[in-house]
Structure 1
Amino acid sequence: MTDIEGASGEQLAEQALRLVTADPRQAGRLAAQARRIARRSGDRDAESTAERSLGLAARELNDAGTALRHLRRAVRVARAAGLPQRAAEARMSLALVLAEAGRPAQALREIDEAAPALDGLPAARLGMQRALTLDRLSRFAEAMDGYTGAIAAFRRAGDQLWQARALTNRGVLHAYRGSLRQAEADLFAAERLYDVLGQHLAVAQVRHNLGFVAAQAGDVPGALRWYDVADEYFARNGRSAIALMDRGELLLRARLLPEARDAAQAALDAARAGRTRLYEAQARLMLAEVANGGGDRRTAHRHATAAHRAFVRQGRPAWAALARYAALRAADDTGPTRRLRRAREVAAELAAAGWPTPALDARLYAAGLAAGRAEGAAELRLVLAAGRNGPAELRVRAWHAAALLRDAAGDTAGARRALLAGARILDTYRAALGATELRTLAASYATDLAATGLRLARQTGRARSVLWWAERWKAAALRLPPARPPHEPALAADLAELRRAVAEADSGVPAGRVNALWRQRRALEERIRRRSWHVRGSGSTTRTPNLLARLDGQLHDRTLFELIDIGGELHVIVVHRGRFRSRALGRTERVVAELEALRFALRRIVLRHGGPASRAAAVQGARHAAEQLDRALFAPVRGWLGDGELVVVPVGLLHATPWALLPTCRGRPVAVAPSATAWLDATARAGARPSTGSPLLVAGPGLTHADREVRRLADALAPAEVFVGAAAGAEAVLAALDGAPLAHVAAHGGFRSDNPMFSYLRLADGPITVYDLEQVARPPAVVVLSACESGLSTVHPGDELMGLAAALLGVGTATVLGSVLPAQDEATLELMLDLHRRLAGGSGAAAALAAAQAAMDGTLDERSATAAAFVCFGAG
């Protein structure tokens, strides 16, 4: 590095100091140059300022150890040279880093040492640093007064940079204390000042803090959008521990637990690398919260107790109370009485510390521990008093608390009203989310409400009441209007690039290139997911008006067979010719075990695993499991089922049932729906869509029978729009899907259990995923997916589904036919030709599939097992 011509050490050091929050790397380079010049010329004043600039630049680059060395040297140089004001300014910066390093008491001592040497504007800056340290010690009222006084002083002096810093700090404190409008006002004012001053890092930090405010307000899409805007800078210049933790907390709230865990671990790694003990303790607490959310109590307790010890050492009682609460929820070695006492104590500590939302959460936890006791009623009343203004998930829980309180008092009607109030809050929260993934995962907040509502309904003994409450929760995300991702060039480019990367990886490139393409694919998928999370919902909620009357009017000769899990017990509601009946069927786990045995045996049959004896055993096992499953589900209610089509609403893992193999369903039309409401909506869409227009037939690559299947279908269904070979590219097919009456796609498919939104159909130039399908404005009324396992979905709490079939139903397709198991090519071709012949003859989809399956029934082999693997989802 060469000296900058004509610049003194003092000039360079001051320039570096101004650049610290705009470009810390450049500030560090200038400060090192200034220090060399200052040492050469014996200018101790400039040398101290250069050391201070080096320390502050290291702090912005998340290296607290290096920052402390430079700042202590800045103090020593100034003191040795008899420069009390320079020493005091260096102490002020040293106090900032000491506080972040988990030594707030030392930070206050440095501030006290600096105070006598400063007056005027430097004294105001020191006052702002004192306020920041008090803030981190949870002395919030003193900190707020300090920030406000400092802002006034900076405004009078025209010091825009320090005014922006103080506004930022006060805005964050407002956000922690729930004063969100004041927080936004301060942060937007700070952003304007930083922008004028060219402080790029500080602008990014303020935008991240605006995301934190949006998160506190429950605006998940808005918060994620702000975080990603800020991260465009952080990704190039280093992500701080605090930014990673804020993102992790939001991901945890959105129930994106793996992503939240990754963010918290990255925050812990960054805090350790930068030696910022303050943030290391907070990252451990974040890891404990994520582990508690995922039910990993051992990991949660380990991180929470470590965080608690660190907070106590740092003199941060409010944070210590949070860690104590996390440890309490994770512990399993304390009796209920002691646990209740500790929960009430920590709730009081959090309330006294000025953290109302964590205090409310702790009171709800205490209320649950004390259910049915006098203390429980007292806690619930406190919750009701405090819980009307918190985040949506806590307000939902508060209404659940009210329901429990009213039920205990014998006010069953009041309990139901409270449950519905909580459900409306959750509906509004979910309606504000646009991403299918976030809407689906939000259902976990309704788990307790749903369980209580079903328990109260079951006590009435009325099947109508049980069905109504079950439908209030089942697959609620599908009832919302689809919020399609915006047709923005960046998203379209990412989806196209993902197709290219996958297609290239499948084309036989060298191993080293495959690894690079795999990394590119994961990065693209993450970017697409993050873009999708930004989408806002319409905000309009849906109701289920006259559900029972609509069923009466729409079922006709059909029978609704809806399964419901109530506390691990499987129940069924049967509706036929206006009669609503219910029956308990036994433990859900027993039925699921039979399904798993059936699926295992069918996979062996279709894939021809093992020798003749092994396959014969698989056939016997499949028949036995099918009979047992049929006996468990249908035998207790066989007399109620009638003779017409069955509308089956499964529960949990039963969504993957090959229904056609069960004796009761063999040869009988079966339509499978996520809920009765979803079936009614799909039926209405089917009736509203015109049947005119040519069908769309698509053959994907690498499937031996696909071209032959599509060409034979084209002959039978002419005129048809046909895409085969290179013409069957993603953009062309997606455009043709828009408005087609029927689409048949013969293409390799894949169900992504790690992320069902990336479940795909492979076309000539790569895969189309659920994200692509969500952008089709007018999806076909009927979609036939002849690929293996194209009908599978991941099932989340509330029987919320994610997968190809669920996505198509969600965006407006009335009926989807797909497989829930592997399928043999020749058998699939035979089934599809017969299916479409019957559809063209006027049969409904469920009836056409059942008849085609029955025509292939007989000896249980790969042919009949393939046929039985196909399921009709939606209207039928």
Structure 2
Amino acid sequence: MVMADPRRAAALGAKLLARAERDRDPGNVAASLRILGLAARELQDPALAAARLRRSVAVAVRARREDLAAQSRMSLALVLNDLGRPRAALREIDRALSALDGLPLARARMQHGILLRRLGRDEQALEAYTSALAAFRRHDDRLWQARALTNRGVLQAYRGGFAAARADLGRAEQLYRELSLPAAAAQAQHNLGFAAACSGDIVTALTWYDRADEYFRRSGSRPAEALIDRAELLLAARLLPEAQQAAQEAVEIAAAARLGTLLPQARLLQARAALAAGDAAAAREPALLAGRAFARQQRERWAVLARYLQARAGARQRPGRLRALAAALDEAGWPEQALEARLYAAGAGDTAALDELATADPGRGPARLRIRACHAQALSRLHHGDLAGARRALRAGLRLLDQYRAALGAIELRVLSSAEGEDLAELGVRLAVSERSARQVLAWAERWRAATLRLPPSTPHDDPELVRELARLRRVTAELAGDSLDAVRRARPLQRQRALEDAIRRRTWRTAATAPTVDVPGSVDEILAALGERALVELIEQDGRLLGVVAAGGRVRLHPLADTAALGLETAALRFAMRRLVLRYGSTASLAAAEAAARHGLRQLDEWLLRPLARAIGGRELVVVPTGALQALPWAALPTCLGRPVTVAPSATAWARGTTARRTDLDERFVLVAAARPDHAIGEAEALARLDPAAQLLTGARATVGATLAAIDGARRVHLAAHGEFRADNPLFSHLDLADGPLTVHDLTTLRRAPDLVVLSACDTGLSAVHPGDELMGLTAALLGAGARTLVASTGPVDDEATRELMLGLHQRLRTGSDPAAALAAAQAAAPPEKWATAYGFSCFGSGAA
């Protein structure tokens, strides 16, 4: 009953204790106190558990009931270990072992195995679990069989025996269910997730963790150990804010319950998450506190890891110290951290560490470890002058990253996983630059850039619960959009909105890849062939400087450009000035100043970015592949681009493949959708419908999310006029406001056949969050990822009337056969001069074809 319902067991134990004390029955007093101690442990109060178990031992010893005393010592040993007192725990379990025989002895041996495991004595622990399990099977003790299988399964996962771990843990879950022990079954499910996490299978691990967490949340008790494991997995998935939050919650729970064993482990996760987020200062205290605790507890395996994190978080990193710690980490069984330490030491100039990197094995371990091993081999080979070998290792690492990313179904996880290849791609570009090979620079940049878009879309359209959660989110958002709610009454729907968004994100993380195939990037020759008479400008950041690769006329050239810091500041200032011009903020004088600032910013950015490339690009139509903050630049407004068709592409490969023959899976429908707000939207859609009477029109109350998705799925051309919002805090909830609420990025992932051309007549819909590898998240990236070839969208606010005229001009030119990039350029050139900020806020994204 303690495992099934610890509160009920505690209540019954208290009654039994009162009766035993009334009857002056020391045996039953000792047994009742043990029940109360075990219940307190299940309820995460180890201090109370220890007090009750010590009293149970004392009562049993006075009554000369050594069997009862030994059983209570066995339980006390686990509680003392929870409290971070492993030596006292071993003393108690040793005394228990000497006094027991038969089935109780087998149980004590299994508990001994738990203590040995936590002290890093894995072989002895495995032997203890296996021996105890055989005894439980002989006695047909199914509860303790399940416990032994659980402990052995977790140990097998630590040791890399993933198939054996899954078998043990799966059988344990089955036994717990047969015994009607849902809490224990949930813990077994969590441990199945842990085994998947150890093997690098993020999607399966999240699925099991969430299944177990549903029970933990319902029961009102989330174990600190489960939160530690979740934080570890979120860290591996590069979901850094979520990892930091889970680690913080684990610290709070472990500290409140005085779980001395788990508290330093939770603090280590805090330190690791802070370091991953680039905040060394925040990592220092938790790493130091964890190290001190592990030293007191004589847990040397964990203490080594704490010392490494302290060294990483230090103000000065000594390469020799890191290399020495790498050897200790290897010996303690932390291969990933050992390799990481050597890579940091090598990066700091330790040549001995470079020699040691040669032993890294890309053929063993989870994908992330193998990717890093490829980087290590590349550095070692480069150190020894083997440039060809270094390039082979880099390419092998990026192939592994492609496979790893392809196994993930969620857009968010795919995008974030690209950071695993950052060091590989940067080294490849660096080698190409050192050899002054423009073709190789382009090839290496394309090898990593926007690689998520090379994967087939992975759509969770068959998940009915996701559809229901999105519908609930729309209702809450519509409620918040009403003017009748004051600040107090808005609090509850805001809370529901945040909870729904969190639930939707977590659900999409568990999306499995529908077809985990890997598509290689385009070759330089493929890109040149697709360009024809156009010119490609691909921008690459290296060591704080921007490089421009120009491909035109069958040639590829490399040009050094400006400092990236200056470019970022000037881009932000330009966007601010253009925003003021569109929204008409301020007096006449301040608007004149904004006009002057915007014009100056455009000239300055053009001078830095395109003027140095003028001879190479000539008068050709441009394909621009930006990087970083330049993704949000209004490229068409730069002096060099005025009147010239310009396509902004996430990568040259994505652009080239989007220019292929028209898709045959689409019908020729033109769909027009307009929400009731802003005021011009319906008029704009109706004016466009008059240009094309055959167009399918959804306006006002008919323009719901469901109707819109159904209408645009499989259409050739789509125009959406509505309020738009880019969510910088959560880009996958960027949206268009339709009749019944927001049409989000998550909704767009349900499209089975994305349109060829999508025009988003709304504010900020061309904005994207930019991640390593110039991976993008936002409405534009979602539609391109779903299969759309071209989008026209704005990277800033827009003026209603100016937008209406621009859209009419755009579609008139599209009807005469112009490509979207050319049609947009001509419509922008014809816009009223006083409305230039709105007109040139729109860009043509993707392939520029339709």
- Shorter-chain TM-score bucket reads over 0.9
AA partner of residue 675 (structure 1): S
CA positional deviation for 1:407: 1.6
Query: What are the Cα deviations for residues 460-497 of structure 1, in whole angstroms up to 9, with x where unaligned?
Result: 22211111111001101111111111422111110111
1:784 aligns with 2:755: no
Q: Tell me if structure 1 keeps the 8 A contact 2:304–2:332.
A: no
CA positional deviation for 1:342: 2.3
Structure 1 residues 173, 362: closer, same or farther in 2, change over 3 A?
Answer: farther
CA positional deviation for 1:323: 0.7
Tell me the residue number matched to 2:286.
303
AA partner of residue 15 (structure 2): Q
CA positional deviation for 1:624: 0.7
CA positional deviation for 1:48: 2.2
- Helix, strand or coil for the counterpart of 2:639? coil
Tell me the residue number matched to 1:6.
none
- Helix, strand or coil for the counterpart of 1:801? strand
Deviates more, 1:171-180 or 1:411-420: 171-180
| Alignment partners' CA distance in 2, 1:822 and 1:652 | 20
1:70 aligns with 2:52: yes
CA positional deviation for 1:691: 7.6
Tell me the residue number matched to 2:481.
506
1:413 to 388, 392, 397: 388
- Helix, strand or coil for the counterpart of 2:720? strand
CA positional deviation for 1:866: 0.5
1:534 aligns with 2:510: yes
Tell me the residue number matched to 2:779.
804
| Alignment partners' CA distance in 1, 2:699 and 2:659 | 31
AA partner of residue 305 (structure 1): L
| Alignment partners' CA distance in 2, 1:719 and 1:47 | 87
Tell me the residue number matched to 1:382.
359
| Alignment partners' CA distance in 1, 2:64 and 2:425 | 71
1:592 to 568, 571, 576: 568
CA positional deviation for 1:745: 0.8
AA partner of residue 834 (structure 1): G
Structure 1 residues 364, 690: closer, same or farther in 2, change over 3 A?
Answer: closer
Tell me the residue number matched to 1:195.
177
Deviates more, 1:450-459 or 1:115-124: 115-124
Once the two structures are superposed, the pairs formed by residues 748-767 of structure 1 within 5 Å of their partners are 748-767=723-742
Q: Tell me if structure 2 keeps the 8 A contact 1:241–1:270.
A: yes
Q: Tell me if structure 2 keeps the 8 A contact 1:557–1:644.
A: yes
| Alignment partners' CA distance in 1, 2:432 and 2:239 | 31
Tell me the residue number matched to 1:9.
none
Tell me the residue number matched to 1:205.
187
AA partner of residue 327 (structure 1): Q
| Alignment partners' CA distance in 2, 1:640 and 1:803 | 32
Tell me the residue number matched to 1:519.
495
| Alignment partners' CA distance in 2, 1:377 and 1:364 | 8
- Helix, strand or coil for the counterpart of 1:596? helix
- Helix, strand or coil for the counterpart of 1:687? coil
AA partner of residue 845 (structure 2): F
- Helix, strand or coil for the counterpart of 2:827? helix
Tell me the residue number matched to 2:223.
240
Q: Tell me if structure 1 keeps the 8 A contact 2:339–2:357.
A: no
AA partner of residue 172 (structure 2): A
Tell me the residue number matched to 1:16.
none
AA partner of residue 565 (structure 1): E
Tell me the residue number matched to 1:15.
none
1:134 aligns with 2:116: yes
Q: Tell me if structure 2 keeps the 8 A contact 1:658–1:869.
A: yes
Query: What are the Cα deviations for residues 83-130 of structure 1, in whole angstroms up to 9, with x where unaligned?
Result: 221121111111111101101111111112323321111111111111
RMSD: 1.6
1:721 to 696, 705, 727: 696
| Alignment partners' CA distance in 1, 2:689 and 2:461 | 34
Q: Tell me if structure 2 keeps the 8 A contact 1:428–1:539.
A: yes
Query: What are the Cα deviations for residues 790-837 of structure 1, in whole angstroms up to 9, with x where unaligned?
Result: 000000001000000010000000111110011111111111111111
| Alignment partners' CA distance in 2, 1:405 and 1:40 | 76
CA positional deviation for 1:690: 7.3
CA positional deviation for 1:459: 2.1
- Helix, strand or coil for the counterpart of 1:277? coil
| Alignment partners' CA distance in 2, 1:522 and 1:866 | 33
CA positional deviation for 1:544: 2.5
Query: What are the Cα deviations for residues 326-352 of structure 1, in whole angstroms up to 9, with x where unaligned?
Result: 111111235xxxx23322332222322
Deviates more, 1:655-664 or 1:349-358: 349-358
Tell me the residue number matched to 1:156.
138
1:323 to 286, 295, 306: 306
Structure 1 residues 462, 341: closer, same or farther in 2, change over 3 A?
Answer: closer
Deviates more, 1:796-805 or 1:48-57: 48-57
| Alignment partners' CA distance in 1, 2:638 and 2:6 | 68
Tell me the residue number matched to 1:22.
4
Query: What are the Cα deviations for residues 410-468 of structure 1, in whole angstroms up to 9, with x where unaligned?
Result: 22111111100111111110000010100100111111101110011112222111111
1:649 to 625, 635, 646: 625
AA partner of residue 101 (structure 2): D
CA positional deviation for 1:380: 1.0
| Alignment partners' CA distance in 2, 1:348 and 1:405 | 17
Once the two structures are superposed, the pairs formed by residues 611-626 of structure 1 within 5 Å of their partners are 611-626=587-602
Query: What are the Cα deviations for residues 374-402 of structure 1, in whole angstroms up to 9, with x where unaligned?
Result: x1333212334xx5312222211111111
| Alignment partners' CA distance in 2, 1:379 and 1:694 | 62
Tell me the residue number matched to 1:868.
840
Tell me the residue number matched to 2:147.
165
Deviates more, 1:64-73 or 1:700-709: 64-73
CA positional deviation for 1:204: 0.6
Tell me the residue number matched to 2:552.
576
AA partner of residue 733 (structure 1): T
Q: Tell me if structure 1 keeps the 8 A contact 2:342–2:354.
A: no
Query: What are the Cα deviations for residues 504-555 of structure 1, in whole angstroms up to 9, with x where unaligned?
Result: 121234434421111111111111111111112222111125x222223221
Tell me the residue number matched to 1:356.
335
Q: Tell me if structure 1 keeps the 8 A contact 2:765–2:780.
A: yes
2:344 to 340, 349, 365: 365
Q: Tell me if structure 2 keeps the 8 A contact 1:367–1:379.
A: no
Tell me the residue number matched to 1:562.
538
Q: Tell me if structure 1 keeps the 8 A contact 2:264–2:290.
A: yes
Identity %: 53
| Alignment partners' CA distance in 2, 1:181 and 1:343 | 34
Query: What are the Cα deviations for residues 41-74 of structure 1, in whole angstroms up to 9, with x where unaligned?
Result: 3333223222222221221222222222222222
CA positional deviation for 1:693: 2.7
- Helix, strand or coil for the counterpart of 2:360? helix
2:321 to 320, 336, 342: 342
Structure 1 residues 694, 351: closer, same or farther in 2, change over 3 A?
Answer: closer
| Alignment partners' CA distance in 2, 1:197 and 1:704 | 63
Q: Tell me if structure 1 keeps the 8 A contact 2:113–2:126.
A: yes
| Alignment partners' CA distance in 2, 1:277 and 1:781 | 59
Query: What are the Cα deviations for residues 639-681 of structure 1, in whole angstroms up to 9, with x where unaligned?
Result: 1113232111011110101112111111111110000001012
Q: Tell me if structure 1 keeps the 8 A contact 2:231–2:269.
A: yes
- Helix, strand or coil for the counterpart of 1:762? strand
Once the two structures are superposed, the pairs formed by residues 430-441 of structure 1 within 5 Å of their partners are 430-441=405-416
Tell me the residue number matched to 1:544.
521
Deviates more, 1:863-872 or 1:138-147: 138-147
- Helix, strand or coil for the counterpart of 1:783? strand
| Alignment partners' CA distance in 2, 1:65 and 1:201 | 22
Q: Tell me if structure 2 keeps the 8 A contact 1:170–1:183.
A: yes
| Alignment partners' CA distance in 2, 1:629 and 1:432 | 40
Deviates more, 1:701-710 or 1:286-295: 701-710
Tell me the residue number matched to 1:143.
125
CA positional deviation for 1:313: 0.8
Deviates more, 1:742-751 or 1:553-562: 553-562
TM-score with structure 1 setting the length: 0.94
- Helix, strand or coil for the counterpart of 1:688? coil
- Helix, strand or coil for the counterpart of 1:648? strand
| Alignment partners' CA distance in 2, 1:633 and 1:347 | 44
- Helix, strand or coil for the counterpart of 2:51? helix
- Helix, strand or coil for the counterpart of 1:218? coil
Deviates more, 1:56-65 or 1:562-571: 56-65
